[in-house]
Amino acid sequence: MDRQRGEAPFRSLLSVQAWRALDINVRAIEIYITERREEEKSNATINRELELLRRALRLAHDRQLLPSIPKVRVLSENNTRQGFFERPDLEAVVAALPDYLRDFTRFAYLAGC
């Protein structure tokens, strides 16, 4: 993973609010979600950021630094990737491959790889 890209969600969490762990509650999380949506961030992006927050809260709780963990809801993601290869495209590629790769390629296609 690209180091900058991997750190981006964490920077987003830190830059939007100067949160203290004890101040994070459901209302604060909902405000964060609203602000990120106003910045036109996708639900998938917001969910990755919230995953980091959820993990940080869990670690703090496990170390008895937080008395409880607020519920962090997961947003629906409707960004399923589509249209990479249709069946005729696959068969055109398979026809150009050496014999030893044809079955493997068909298997990968059917497995969704």
Q: Which parts of 17-98 fold into alpha helices (H)?
A: 26-38, 43-62, 87-96
Instruction: Note whether 57 and 11 are same-domain residues.
Output: yes
The answer to whether position 49 is within a domain reads: yes
Nearest to 95 by CA among 53, 40, 30, 87: 87
Q: How many domains in the chain?
A: 2
Least confident of 19-33, 54-68, 96-110: 19-33
Per the domain annotation, does 70 fall within a domain? no
Q: What is the DSSP letter of 92?
A: H
Write out pLDDT tens, residues 96-111.
Answer: 999 999 999 999 988 8
pTM of the model: 0.59
Q: Is residue 68 included in any domain, yes or no?
A: no
pLDDT tens sequence across 2-13: 445 555 655 566
9 and 55 assigned to the same domain: yes
Residue range of the domain that includes 44: 3-62
